[in-house]
Amino acid sequence: MYKALGKLWCAYGFFFILLGIPLLVEQDSPLIIITAVGVIFELIIVMVIYTLKIEGKYRNK
């Protein structure tokens, strides 16, 4: 289970960094909307993957 969670968090961190790249160009850019909405969707996707795949696979029945 810990290996699957590690892979999930590594993927999350990679995409989190990619979403932060527009903020490096200009701080007051309208691209901050893409970053904010992208992080929200990313968190929702992480929760769905954890709930449906990882927790379902390793849950004691």
> Would you state the pLDDT for residue 26?
77
Q: How far apart are CA 61 and CA 44, in angstroms?
A: 26
CA distances from 30 to 20, 34, 36, 43 (A): 13, 8, 11, 21
Q: Give the pLDDT means over successive 10-residue stretches in the chain (61 positions).
A: 86 90 80 87 91 81 57
Distance, in Å, from the CA atom of 40 to the CA atom of 49, rounded to the nearest integer, reads 14
pLDDT at 19: 87
Question: Would you kindly state where each structural domain of the chain is located, as residue ranges?
Answer: 2-58
